[in-house]
Amino acid sequence: MSGNVDKLNKRGVKTSYASTIIGISLVLFMIGIVLGGIFGLENIQKQAKESLQGDLFFSPELNTADIKQIEQELKTWEQFSEVFFVSPERAIEEFTGQDQNKDNILAIFEGENPLPSTVGFKPKEKYATLSGMKKIKEELIAAYGDRIEDVNYDEASVQNVNLGFKQFVYLFGAVALLLIIVAVAMINNTIRLALYSKRFSIKTMQLVGATKRFIRKPFIIKNIFLGLFSSILASTLLYFTIFYIDKKIPFIDMFNNIYIFYVFSSIIILGVSISWISTYFATQKLLNLNTEKLYN
């Protein structure tokens, strides 16, 4: 009879551990998905910012050699991720997009290409803002003066890139915060229920003179390991999810190694921290419980 009771107790303990691990892992996995979305959006935003383009139009007195010299000088500027020379031939191809349209435009201008040589540039991420692009324009005019007729870029595109992605990041941040609150509540409840089944053992140790710290320590250590294992399980599931997304959408580089490291680190820290704090307060509540209420 006692053997059957021991088997049932062991089975109950294993079931409790399994449910705790599964519950914590699923919550941490959802948090990881949202955090991954935030970092992924930031990475896409960086790509979008650095794909913005400006163009330098030069005075007609400058020849191709002079323009190419300026191009080489601009490549040393730290504000730009890319600087490139645009010949009249390349410019008209980009402008028309089709050979037929190109021939039509050339026919209108009696075979002469009306587009001048220009230099295109793409700013680095931190300069891809309205204030950053304005500062670049001022510095270009100050550096080259009359040699530059105009510095052209699409202000609306610059503004949309910055505002659009920022709104998505705020939205994902709010969802992440909500999930963390839910995670704390669910993990705390899961651990509290698991510890409640051991309330008689806890109270017995307390009655024979064990200190609160001595009683709490094994439970905290055990649940920290459960939290760590759950975090690793959630990170593994998240890794395969990211791998799947990367395979399905190869043309969008949503993640890089540093972002993945941040997400996995956050999951592990959250899993261990929440488990430790929840176990501490759950055991503290049971330790302060009156003996008469053990059966309630």
pLDDT at 136: 92
Are 161 and 85 in contact by the 8 Å Cβ rule? The answer is no
| φ and ψ at residue 202, rounded to 5 degrees | -65, -45
Q: How far apart are CA 121 and CA 152, in angstroms?
A: 10
Question: Which has the closest alpha carbon to 230: 200, 192, 270?
Answer: 270
Residue identified by tokens 């094994």 is 218
What angle do helix axes 2-50 and 257-287 make, rounded to 10 degrees?
140
pTM to 2 decimal places: 0.62
Q: Could you tell me the domains of the chain? A: 2-47+161-293 (no CATH), 53-153 (3.30.70.3040)
What angle do helix axes 212-248 and 199-207 make, rounded to 10 degrees?
150
pLDDT at 2: 42
Q: Is 82 helix (H, G, I), strand (E, B) or coil?
A: strand
Residues of the chain with pLDDT under 70: 1-17, 88-115, 164-166, 249-257, 289-296
What does the pLDDT look like over 30-51, one tens digit per residue?
888 877 777 777 777 788 888 8
What single DSSP character describes residue 290?
-
pLDDT at 16: 62
pLDDT at 17: 66
pLDDT at 162: 74
What does the pLDDT look like over 86-140, one tens digit per residue?
876 666 565 555 554 555 554 444 445 456 778 889 999 889 888 999 999 999 9
Q: How would you class 248 by CB atoms within 10 Å of its CB: exposed for 0-12, middle for 13-18, buried for 19 or more?
A: exposed
What single DSSP character describes residue 85?
E
Chain Cα centroid distance, residue 246: 14
